[in-house]
Structure 1
């Protein structure tokens, strides 16, 4: 059941016919990884459609390929790796272009695949934020995961470090949040 704020009610989240349970843990890193260490690199532009729980994503791979998709995330208000329900729809260029004409807040980042992590290095007012995410199939996998030492702090339960919140974040706010975790990126 969905509540008025757009989240999932109750203590458990179950996969549906079209939506899957999203399990991920997020960690702050002090610096971006070396691009040569990544198995795949993508430049991602996320458009958070105003007044919705929808995200329009354009992910351009270093090999010239491009993935276009519309995602709905229905969050759950529980601590831990279960973030809620996620549904993805893959789009044609024409479908993407039509949806991209809608009002949206835009977030840009480079994503480096460094299994088990996807490491996001943000641009614009979020420059200096390096966020590693690991996704899991089961609750047990998520709970037993031991992060490597380069993970400065876990921010899985800190809603400030979700895309929907980051897209609205000012540079001064970001710097304050990072300082709370002992990180002080350059201000340039």
Structure 2
């Protein structure tokens, strides 16, 4: 990645940009094949895994305490994230050239886009209204720190800040080692 964009100093702008990156990676996976598809899919898996972990550690706690009906909103987003992680985990174990891959990917895409719209509507707008520039910046810093330590593959069942912080570092180490081995063996595009 290049330098940090100025908009990344605002947590909402950072997460919105990542939602766009996720949509673009879905497009790339769907329009490519072979090694190019495998590489694009690895990028998508990694971005989704670290993005959701960071939201679970930073955004959901803010939502619980600061958004009207925040507990309900956070629980709904966490349930959506768990479902998406389960589908992503199945896909992560598939060959990207398998005929079942693209239909399953399409299901995941619909779920992820619905989830992103719900975040943008029920959480991001509220964060923007109720957090000053300093808080938006500190949350962006916290998201980037969480992403730096996050697992790079989905781990269904860790959809809470406590579980992410307890289990995340071990899962991240295992994931990042697996990624390095894949890359060294030429299995990552």
Which protein has the bigger strand share? 1
Asked whether the two chains share a fold, i.e. TM above 0.5, the reply is no
Q: TM-score, normalised by structure 1?
A: 0.30
Q: Report 1 or 2 for greater relative contact order, CA contacts < 8 Å, sequence distance ≥ 6.
A: 2
Which protein has the bigger helix share? 2
Q: TM-score, normalised by structure 2?
A: 0.30
